[in-house]
């Protein structure tokens, strides 16, 4: 018989196998200093384009004050126990009520972490006779939720209405056989490419098909819509989203998340979300902190305005300089370049070391071979000077990429290393 750990010693997994080359730099990098538009990486100042602090709240003095005071008042333990047992408070209820009102739903329920909450919500909404239809580019937490489902599931091509309808047809046939219902899951904004889920078109299909719509709006909440209530508000279909999800980890710059829906659905979910029923309640410091952040989101529209000033300056600047930024419809700003993985690594190193630009990099197998995706997240704390410097740096690295500088550099490095 094999030792269970044998496979772990032999294979560290699709990402883990790159640890020797990538750890500390491309993965698990350590950004230091207060969260802001400029932080330190390996002792040098960099413009940070990789933090989802959309509204610049993470280090806002008013937020820091409330966080610190709540920490002093409650410590980090309170309340102890799961919500259902001993971890329930007036403040949790107040935050839920305010969140529900903000996203225009009857009720909301807090989740300790978005990821686990999403997994459990998918799990709780369906039983084995039900059918799930979801986008092939769905976030890992949606996929993990679907993995728990004992019944049928169909994926549709990313944001492709023809594929959505085809799969709804298949799902309808299946559900008629099993006697179940259909749950369609989309994101409000897809976090890699920045496209909004086609919520308006999906909702229109409710005329023809009987399904419920669940939207993960992690990137839309706080950034889209007139009031910042997200992609549903932006597309004018918030009332047609049956279950709405957002995390505090992005616009609210904290930890925690929530789901919002009709009262009866939330009442059901709060008794059936396993990751919340059997886990400690969201700690008070986070609850008070989220109330403060939500209040700022509601009363300081200038934060979202500044965010969008930066988004527009960056995205227009990149387009005008001839960069391919795909089909983003949100703050998420992808820049697509052509090159190999070693070239991508040399390019990112150049950006960080010589231009002081820190952004995320995505390569194959997440995107097709030969493509490099640099992902930039503008925030309200960036300045137009940050944007200008970044545009200059991007033009410089593109020229080096196109004239083969990184190719020669990586070939020389490979020869030196004897690989
Ligand atoms: C689309 C999406 N859904 C869910 C999550 C998970 O949220 P959390 O960080 O609160 O666990 C994330 C990442 O934060 C996300 O990008």
Pairing of strands 182-187, 212-216: parallel
Cα(80)–Cα(88) distance, integer angstroms: 9
- 393, 320 in Cβ contact below 8 A? no
Domain membership of residue 229 (yes or no) is yes
Q: What is the pLDDT of residue 367?
A: 84
- Note whether 115 and 182 are same-domain residues: yes
Q: What is the pLDDT of residue 368?
A: 86
Cα(417)–Cα(212) distance, integer angstroms: 56
The protein residue with its alpha carbon nearest to ligand 1, atom 14, reads 249
Last residue of a domain, one of 299, 327, 351: 299
CA 331, 23, 383: angle at the middle one, nearest 5?
A: 30
- Note whether 276 and 150 are same-domain residues: yes
CATH number at residue 237: 3.40.640.10
- Note whether 78 and 39 are same-domain residues: no
Q: What is the pLDDT of residue 418?
A: 57
Range of the domain at 351: 6-54+301-417
- 95, 290 in Cβ contact below 8 A? yes
Domain membership of residue 1 (yes or no) is no
The residues of the chain scoring below 50 in pLDDT are none
Domain membership of residue 167 (yes or no) is yes
Q: What is the pLDDT of residue 366?
A: 81
- 202, 208 in Cβ contact below 8 A? no
- Note whether 124 and 188 are same-domain residues: yes
- Note whether 275 and 159 are same-domain residues: yes
CA of 42 to the centre of ligand 1 (A): 27
Q: What is the pLDDT of residue 397?
A: 97
Q: What is the pLDDT of residue 14?
A: 76
For residue 156, what is the enclosing H or E element? Answer: strand 153-156
Q: What is the pLDDT of residue 419?
A: 53
Domain membership of residue 200 (yes or no) is yes
- Note whether 68 and 212 are same-domain residues: yes
- Note whether 312 and 392 are same-domain residues: yes
Last residue of a domain, one of 257, 279, 299: 299
CA of 230 to the centre of ligand 1 (A): 15
The alpha carbon of 216 is separated from its chain's Cα centroid by a whole number of angstroms, namely 9
- Note whether 133 and 232 are same-domain residues: yes
- Note whether 220 and 315 are same-domain residues: no
Last residue of a domain, one of 267, 299, 331: 299
Q: What is the pLDDT of residue 190?
A: 97
CATH number at residue 355: 3.90.1150.10
- Note whether 228 and 217 are same-domain residues: yes
- Note whether 127 and 242 are same-domain residues: yes
Q: What is the pLDDT of residue 417?
A: 59
The protein residue with its alpha carbon nearest to ligand 1, atom 7, reads 114
Around 43, how many Cα atoms within 13 Å sit in the side-chain half-sphere?
0
Q: What is the domain count for the chain?
A: 2
Best of 119, 121, 139 for a ligand 1 pocket test (most atoms within 8 Å of beta carbon): 139
For residue 333, what is the enclosing H or E element? Answer: strand 333-338
- Note whether 27 and 159 are same-domain residues: no
Domain membership of residue 323 (yes or no) is yes
Residues with CB under 6 Å of ligand 1 are 113-115, 118, 139, 141, 187, 191, 216, 218, 247, 249, 257
Cα(192)–Cα(210) distance, integer angstroms: 30
Adjacency order of strands within the sheet including 38-41: 31-32, 38-41, 44-48, 357-358
Q: What is the pLDDT of residue 235?
A: 98
Domain membership of residue 146 (yes or no) is yes
Q: What is the pLDDT of residue 15?
A: 77
């Amino acid at each position: 018989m094999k030792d269970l750990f044998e496979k772990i010693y032999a294979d560290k997994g699709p990402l883990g196998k790159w640890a020797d080359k990538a750890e500390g730099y491309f993965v698990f990098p350590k950004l230091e200093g207060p969260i802001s538009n400029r932080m330190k990486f390996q002792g040098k100042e960099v413009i940070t384009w990789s933090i989802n602090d959309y509204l610049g709240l993470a280090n806002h003095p008013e937020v820091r004050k409330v966080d610190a005071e709540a920490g002093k008042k409650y410590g980090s333990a309170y309340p102890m126990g799961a919500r259902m047992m001993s971890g329930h408070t007036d403040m949790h209820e107040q935050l839920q009520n305010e969140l529900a009102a903000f996203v225009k739903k009857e009720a909301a329920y807090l989740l300790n972490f978005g990821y686990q909450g999403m997994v459990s919500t998918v799990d709780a909404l369906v039983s084995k006779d039900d059918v799930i239809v979801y986008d092939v580019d769905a976030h890992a937490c949606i996929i993990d939720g679907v993995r728990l489902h004992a019944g049928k599931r169909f994926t549709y091509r990313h944001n492709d209405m023809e594929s959505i309808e085809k799969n709804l047809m298949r799902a309808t046939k299946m559900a008629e056989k099993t006697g179940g219902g259909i749950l369609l899951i989309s994101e409000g904004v897809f976090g890699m490419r920045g496209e909004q889920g086609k919520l308006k078109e999906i909702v229109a299909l409710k005329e023809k098909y009987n399904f419920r719509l669940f939207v993960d709006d992690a990137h839309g909440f706080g950034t889209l819509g007139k009031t910042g209530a997200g992609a549903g508000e932006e597309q004018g279909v918030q009332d047609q989203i049956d279950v709405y999800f957002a995390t505090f980890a992005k616009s609210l710059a904290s930890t925690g998340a929530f789901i919002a829906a009709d009262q009866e659905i939330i009442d059901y979910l709060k008794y059936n979300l396993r990751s919340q029923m059997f886990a400690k309640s969201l700690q008070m410091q986070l609850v008070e902190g989220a109330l403060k952040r939500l209040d700022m989101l509601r009363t300081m529209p200038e934060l979202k305005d500044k965010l969008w000033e930066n988004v527009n300056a960056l995205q227009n600047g990149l387009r005008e300089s001839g960069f391919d930024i795909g089909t983003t419809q949100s703050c998420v700003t992808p820049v697509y370049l052509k090159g190999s993985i070693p070239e991508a690594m040399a390019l990112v190193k150049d950006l960080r070391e010589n231009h002081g630009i820190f952004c995320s990099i995505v390569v194959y197998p997440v995107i097709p071979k030969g493509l490099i995706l640099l992902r930039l997240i503008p925030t309200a704390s960036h300045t137009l000077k940050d944007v200008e410097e970044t545009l200059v740096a991007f033009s410089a690295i593109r020229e080096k990429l196109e004239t083969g500088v990184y190719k020669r550099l990586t070939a020389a490095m490979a020869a030196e290393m004897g690989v």
